[in-house]
Structure 1
Amino acid sequence: MKITITQRSLFRRRVLWGVGLVVFVLAALNSCAIWTVLVTNPKLSPRTEARSDGKSFVKPGAGGVPIVHLHGTPYERGHAHGAMLKDEIRTLYENYLGIIVTYTYGRNDYLKVARAMLPHMPEAYVEEMRGIADGAGTGLSFDDVLVANVFLDVSQQVGCSTFTLDESRVSDPQDIMLGRNLDFTSLNIAGRYSHVFVHHGTGGHDVLAPSWPGLVGAVSGMNDKGLALAMMLVPSEELNSASMPYAMLYRQILERAATAEQARVTLLELGCRASVTNNLTIFDVNGEGFVAEIEPNRGGAAQVRFREECAGCAFSTNHFNEEHGELETDPYGNSYERWDLMKTKLAGEKPLTVDDAKALLKELAMDGKNLQSMIFLPRRREMLLAAIGPDAVERPYESYNLDRLLGHSP
């Protein structure tokens, strides 16, 4: 089943995001009770203490971002996820996700899409979601977890920027990188709740993924072989519900592929299940990578195009390359402007450093929406992450070492 987002509903969604949520925040400012809940209530911050559930555990992370290690069967990983993070999941659902769901299409429409997608989701991830619901206990149903895990596909509000640099574009060959900003409406809630998830023993490669409690997919991440990826949503009027949520698709790629070429093959094998239009950036330890432009099923197969913008680098925002500058209005915020900025900054001959990459990410960040900013360094087996807040890029980048977190070398 393919669901078409009509012009009227698309207009409604954009108006509600651009105006309705502003109205909500302004109303909150005039309500002491709501303002206390959203801004000043210390309970609306993730717990920082260490805790465990079976083989899985949460430990305090650098910069206030908790690190969640998940072990066991899919259901056991999900159950531990739900049990250890139940307060965070409920807070996000009640004070953030539930509000946005209501202000866009409404829970019934989200649930309709989620149930249509359910047969196309990997069984292991379905078991994880069942485990999350059971582990979290009273007040969170499996349907709630389903809605949370199709939220990104239906709302279509992720606005991001990514770039890759190979040996020819960096000052130190060890610093080949994938840089990434994740920009999204925060409501002063989502920005506080970033967690780093470490998926162990999934039957494939172990995966490191910055994400949020209650979600099982990956929109950014790196696996134990140093393969890194990040997605950028391209707004569309269609959603293919005969598919898995795109974050699940991308976690599958990280679990299955060790190199950019293997990721390309895996994407083509699984791409027929793409839910919405996306740009996907892939980069590996060999300095090989690409941007894939992915469209939902048309005629039984997804359209996937691979591209590179300049020698030694690839970059992408929230539109397809062939559409750059051709639409009357920017398809997402300042997507054209960010694309042009990267073209200017990356097309030169000067080798770039990690500090240069941080400075570029700061220029690219969308004001008030930058929830996570990260740099994956495959050869150093390291992720640098700035998180916490609606302007995360203003915070220090903290280092996450793959070998230390995953417990082994390739």
Structure 2
Amino acid sequence: MLHVSCSGSPYEIGRQHGEQASSQVYGSIAFYDDYFKRKTGKSWPEVQEVAKQFLPYLTSTWPSYLEEVRGIADGAGVPFESILALNVRTEIGFGMLNDGCTAFAWKTKTASFIAQNWDWEGQQKDNIMCVRVVQKDKPTIHMMTEAGIIGKIGMNSAGVGVTLNAIAAKGVSFDKLPCHFALRIVLESTSLQEAKQKLNKAGLASACHITVADAETGSIGFENTAVDQIELHMKDGLNMHTNHITVQRPGVEDKGMLADSPFRLERIEELLKSAGPEPSMQQLRDILKDDKNSPCAINRSPTEKATIQTLFSIVMDLQNRCAVVKMGRPTEGGEELELRP
């Protein structure tokens, strides 16, 4: 597992990312080149052209993120358009990416947790990295991401955490915020309320679900499509999501990419409600080990027909500003690490 620490200006942060993770960045590009070819029929130059359609919006609204993208490209010695494509991979997929993840947040009287299993193609596991980002006048970020991508799953020094679930609903809007840029915006926020205001204002470019939580107020789930954003508020302190639309609305068609998604949502609710009023970090880690309905369980394992599997498990304790990450399936002997932004 590669650990990267970056600081300075947006360009300097990106360049350090690219220099320290150059082989993993190449690995990410190679993986998505092959993936998009198989899933969409697009060549990598065609993928880059799709990505470039976001440039007018991002240049006018989020130029610092483009500077970081440029820094990664220069540091790794790859084209700017390739790193841009990695960061808009959800949108390029036009709702066809099938990351299968189970996520939840839990605010109790004494604690605030946010957690998930991140499930994706096993070929990408060697390109996952742990990144710490230190910026002037912003919270320090500690996150798990794919090499070359500036925002993903993690937490910050202000006690804000974020998780991601893919949703297979068609459509993309090139004048809204791509999913992985939205995750970075959350990670730069000082509270749930600040993150909510930013996400509401920007809107998201494609379908995904983002759970945002902080240490003090709890969590909100943002169920996004290219045309709207629905907020899912806590019930008894809980928020949970898998990989399907849970609030039906006109004009939004869920392709139902993973048939087990409704089962996993019901199962995680069952497990959380039986955990007692004040769960421990270890209890929540154990919940993410659940194998019921294997191989299509919360703790997902690959099959001959489907190579999607749990690539890491993370539980974040927002009040204590720490997280525990287990690489691979949480029932197996993968590397374990802590995040402390």
Same fold (TM over 0.5): yes
Q: Distance in 2 between matches of 1:116 and 1:203?
A: 31
**Contact 2:221–2:233 (Cα < 8 Å) also in 1:** yes
- Aligned residue type for 1:103: R
Matched, 1:377 2:317: yes
Q: Distance in 2 between matches of 1:109 and 1:74?
A: 27
Which of residues 216, 219, 229 in structure 2 aligns to 1:304? 229
2:26 alignment counterpart = 90
Compared CA separation, residues 333 and 309, structure 1 to 2 (3 A):
farther
Which of residues 282, 289, 295 in structure 2 aligns to 1:362? 289
Which sections of structure 2, spanning at least 5 residues, go unmatched?
291-297, 303-308
Q: Distance in 1 between matches of 2:115 and 2:11?
A: 33
| Runs of 4+ that moved beyond 4 A | 327-330
- Aligned residue type for 1:154: I
Q: For residue 383 of structure 1, report the CA deviation from its aligned partner.
A: 1.0
Q: For residue 330 of structure 1, report the CA deviation from its aligned partner.
A: 4.3
1:350 alignment counterpart = 276
**What secondary structure is seen at the aligned counterpart in 2 of 1:129?**
helix
Q: Deviations over 1:283-336 (max 9, x none)?
A: 111151121212213xxxxx222223631211111112235xxx9984424111
Q: Deviations over 1:220-256 (max 9, x none)?
A: 121110110112121111111223321111211221x
State percent identity of aligned pairs: 20
**What secondary structure is seen at the aligned counterpart in 1 of 2:288?**
helix
**Contact 1:82–1:131 (Cα < 8 Å) also in 2:** yes
1:252 alignment counterpart = 185
1:284 alignment counterpart = 214
**What secondary structure is seen at the aligned counterpart in 2 of 1:153?**
helix
Q: For residue 151 of structure 1, report the CA deviation from its aligned partner.
A: 1.8
**What secondary structure is seen at the aligned counterpart in 1 of 2:244?**
coil
2:146 alignment counterpart = 212
**What secondary structure is seen at the aligned counterpart in 2 of 1:350?**
coil
Which sections of structure 1, spanning at least 5 residues, go unmatched?
1-64, 298-302
Q: For residue 348 of structure 1, report the CA deviation from its aligned partner.
A: 4.0
**What secondary structure is seen at the aligned counterpart in 1 of 2:139?**
coil
Q: Distance in 2 between matches of 1:90 and 1:312?
A: 41
Compared CA separation, residues 401 and 150, structure 1 to 2 (3 A):
closer
Q: Distance in 2 between matches of 1:240 and 1:251?
A: 19
Which of residues 87, 101, 118 in structure 1 aligns to 2:55? 118
Q: For residue 397 of structure 1, report the CA deviation from its aligned partner.
A: 7.0
Which of residues 67, 70, 79 in structure 2 aligns to 1:141? 79
Cα-Cα RMSD: 2.3
Q: Distance in 1 between matches of 2:202 and 2:154?
A: 18
2:294 alignment counterpart = none
Q: Which has the higher helix share?
A: 1
Q: Distance in 1 between matches of 2:314 and 2:214?
A: 16
Which residues in structure 2 correspond to 1:9-408 (within 5 Å)? 65-94=1-30, 96-105=31-40, 106=42, 107-121=44-58, 122-137=62-77, 140-155=78-93, 156-168=97-109, 173-174=110-111, 176-187=112-123, 190-201=124-135, 203-216=137-150, 218-255=151-188, 257-271=189-203, 274-297=204-227, 303-308=228-233, 310-323=235-248, 330-348=256-274, 350-351=276-277, 352-363=279-290, 364-368=298-302, 369-387=309-327, 389=328, 391=329, 394-395=332-333, 398-402=336-340, 406=341
- Aligned residue type for 2:84: L
Q: For residue 85 of structure 1, report the CA deviation from its aligned partner.
A: 1.6
Q: Distance in 2 between matches of 1:198 and 1:85?
A: 13
**What secondary structure is seen at the aligned counterpart in 1 of 2:54?**
helix
